[in-house]
Structure 1
């Protein structure tokens, strides 16, 4: 190799950040020819080349793998009985290929580079013949590995943004295996208190560098989990699943099926019955109920005391003192972290029907529709009778547990 060629070779090695030429020998092998790829996959590059026609002897081939300007590995092939191993101080790793025969080394060669290659990555591959530690001139080519199956995202974090939204964040895979998208699967609890979750919806988030997504239109005060996979056209990663998070609470929905049953044995009492708001409308931990009823007087009462929340397994019952022929408006709502929506009804303490009617069924109204109030039929009563019965009502209801503060007792 003349001085000009040697300087060009050293400059090429410097640009590639390969091992510099080891000087001190006048025996520099010739340059290989016809270097080309025979296959490229997501983790391998197949090479072929033809030995130099130079008469300069050589004992090894060295294959340099350069990634992002840095020599990441050097593979070598021994071509004779010389047992001197080639090492490259500028490459991260060194790998030994199979020993080739003299005839193979001096003819058409092939070799597959597989160690530590990553998918969807640009590489510069340099091949040179070597004599002992003296490396000949490189022949180079560029190759890009194919799209691979990505690693899964990690460290999924969920943050409740408000009553109906969750922010999902994750750490992206360290290696870009190709054009990537993320499959975000939202799992919701099967009921308010269950730790078992089922798939409810899925989202596709484009881009390898994407690392967050906001999920909206969720139930208030409900438990959710999220699982995520990363996908390319080559396949899908393993699944990573988060811990659960609960959305923030909001005002509970209206109580259901509110109605009155008159008690034949208690002439001056009416039994108010209602049920919890629908499970997916409780929107929080219901701990009590408020009842306001007005007519011949006004009273506000609190029903129930539940910890941590009302299980809502049976209807709720409260007894209201009434005066015959009095018309009453009753409002009931659930108390959680917020005051619930009100359900309202109107009824008349009809003295004729109170004595024999076992119930007035399914009187249900909501403040959302004031025109749907149902009024039980009434008859006229004398003012004197109403005052007299009012006194008796107060005595009876007080003896049945209504405190001086007029708080309601409740049986379930």
Structure 2
């Protein structure tokens, strides 16, 4: 008889089932799981629970059966963590068959952890169930402190600070730079909890600033105390303001008056010591005058210089600060006026005025003449009305032809009409019959025409 012996490969336990997290906070994670579907062993000796961060063991827990026939020693298992991070707990066989839980404490906020759970049998440590869980963010533990300003330049400086661990989450820092008025307060941002300094730029020259630093996460923010005030370094001054040139002040054509104000307050860039005025023409050597700076606000600086009438002059003004830094210059070119030009201008103005007066007087004379002609016509008309009734009865009419000709009248013709001859009267009424009915009734109008 031939016997056949079948040898089965020894298998380790299946992974625990239903592994999941139940409670998560910024510092703790609680998990639960059930026994494996198959352990391939008569007894489940217990569990190994591990929590890792980037493959580094952070915490390990071991559940050991206290009343099983067999047992195990953690040192005998492969892939175990250091005993420094290990806790060991005893459980009965029935307890190991129930739903299992474990809580990891004192973790780091906003950190991803890998959690492995495996059953242990007489064949060793079984296959592991694995999940990944990230703890929640939290507000910073404390505000930034030891805020300092260093490496001060004309328009920048470095701000540094310290922060307490642990990292509370995705952390941003806001650096607020408070400026004296009228300069603007500015904010700068940088990312990363590990950041401990930042260079702020774009500041005003020789200006006072204080600083705060705010740590910000999605949960909250905390702000440091303000630093003492720091001042940026001085720089060359900007241009003077309200630069003006007055020609021939007081009618003196051999003088020019030059005036200006200090640069705008944010353009002074330091303490101004004095102002330089340089003026010249093609016919003389450049001259320079220096005016001391005064601290009176809105003070106007004025200088009077000698000029040659008609010459073109270059005028330059700039400020100098206590560090002897020359400021930006303002330059103008101007021609000194002459008395002749001014008189010529006056004569032209007088001629223009004379033309205007002549036009006005001509218009007035035209109006007066028109009015006088109209008045004369009215008077003649009135006198004619008074004389016509008497002369028409007693005298022979003599009329003179009009000074114009048409189909009835001839230019320059003169004739006598006998009023006793009706035919003659009818033929001579051509001129009268051409008038409209209203004008015929007005005998004075006809007489006026006869008198022309």
Give the alignment's TM-score, normalised by structure 1. Answer: 0.51
Looking at structure 1, the residues matched to 239 and 62 of structure 2 have their Cα atoms a distance apart, in angstroms, of 78
Distance change in 2, residues 1:50/1:297 (3 Å): closer
Distance change in 2, residues 1:89/1:201 (3 Å): closer
Match of 2:20 in 1: 37
1:300 maps to which of 269, 274, 288: 288
Conserved? CA contact 1:170–1:211, under 8 Å: yes
Question: RCO higher in 1 or 2 (8 Å CA, sep ≥ 6)?
Answer: 1
Measured against aligned partners, the alpha-carbon deviations of 1:287-311 in whole angstroms (never above 9, x if no partner) come to 2222335588764233337xxxx75
Conserved? CA contact 1:63–1:128, under 8 Å: no
**Superposed displacement of residue 123, structure 1:** 2.2
Conserved? CA contact 1:149–1:237, under 8 Å: no
**Superposed displacement of residue 189, structure 1:** 1.3
**Superposed displacement of residue 269, structure 1:** 10
SS of 1:287's partner is strand
**Superposed displacement of residue 45, structure 1:** 2.5
1:47 maps to which of 27, 31, 40: 31
Conserved? CA contact 1:34–1:50, under 8 Å: yes
Looking at structure 1, the residues matched to 242 and 150 of structure 2 have their Cα atoms a distance apart, in angstroms, of 37
1:191-202 residue pairs with structure 2 within 5 A? Answer: 191=181, 199-202=185-188
Looking at structure 2, the residues matched to 199 and 92 of structure 1 have their Cα atoms a distance apart, in angstroms, of 52
Looking at structure 2, the residues matched to 248 and 339 of structure 1 have their Cα atoms a distance apart, in angstroms, of 15
Q: Say yes or no: does 1:341 pair with 2:333.
A: no
Distance change in 2, residues 1:217/1:141 (3 Å): same
Conserved? CA contact 2:256–2:307, under 8 Å: no
SS of 2:269's partner is coil
Match of 2:116 in 1: 125
**Superposed displacement of residue 160, structure 1:** 5.9
> Considering only CA atoms, is the larger Rg found in Structure 1 or Structure 2?
2
1:110 maps to which of 73, 98, 101: 101
Looking at structure 1, the residues matched to 112 and 131 of structure 2 have their Cα atoms a distance apart, in angstroms, of 11
Match of 2:261 in 1: 275
1:65 maps to which of 42, 45, 51: 51
Looking at structure 1, the residues matched to 160 and 276 of structure 2 have their Cα atoms a distance apart, in angstroms, of 41
**Superposed displacement of residue 64, structure 1:** 2.9
Looking at structure 1, the residues matched to 286 and 137 of structure 2 have their Cα atoms a distance apart, in angstroms, of 74
**Superposed displacement of residue 252, structure 1:** 1.8
Q: Say yes or no: does 1:313 pair with 2:303.
A: no
Looking at structure 1, the residues matched to 242 and 115 of structure 2 have their Cα atoms a distance apart, in angstroms, of 75
2:271 maps to which of 285, 310, 317: 285
Conserved? CA contact 1:71–1:91, under 8 Å: no
Structure 1 residues without counterparts, runs of 5 or longer: 10-29, 344-366, 381-412
Measured against aligned partners, the alpha-carbon deviations of 1:54-113 in whole angstroms (never above 9, x if no partner) come to 77586x8663322333322234679989xxxx999814445699x989865541122332
SS of 2:185's partner is strand
1:7-406 residue pairs with structure 2 within 5 A? Answer: 33-34=16-17, 36-39=19-22, 40-51=24-35, 56=43, 63-75=49-61, 90-93=82-85, 105-126=96-117, 139-146=128-135, 148-149=137-138, 159=151, 180=170, 182=172, 184-191=174-181, 199-202=185-188, 217-223=202-208, 229=214, 234-235=218-219, 237-239=221-223, 249-258=234-243, 274-293=260-279, 299-304=287-292, 311=295, 313-317=297-301, 330-336=315-321, 337=323, 338-343=325-330, 367=331, 370=332, 373=334, 379=339
**Superposed displacement of residue 256, structure 1:** 1.9
Measured against aligned partners, the alpha-carbon deviations of 1:197-222 in whole angstroms (never above 9, x if no partner) come to 8633555x567788887765543444
SS of 2:266's partner is helix
Aligned Cα RMSD in Å?
A: 5.7
Match of 1:402 in 2: none
Measured against aligned partners, the alpha-carbon deviations of 1:96-140 in whole angstroms (never above 9, x if no partner) come to 99x98986554112233232244232323336679xxxx975744
**Superposed displacement of residue 33, structure 1:** 2.7
Looking at structure 2, the residues matched to 89 and 34 of structure 1 have their Cα atoms a distance apart, in angstroms, of 23
Looking at structure 2, the residues matched to 225 and 140 of structure 1 have their Cα atoms a distance apart, in angstroms, of 55
**Superposed displacement of residue 315, structure 1:** 0.8
Q: Which has the higher helix share?
A: 2
Conserved? CA contact 1:164–1:220, under 8 Å: yes
For these two proteins, the number of residue pairs brought into alignment is 304
SS of 1:125's partner is strand
Looking at structure 1, the residues matched to 187 and 335 of structure 2 have their Cα atoms a distance apart, in angstroms, of 41
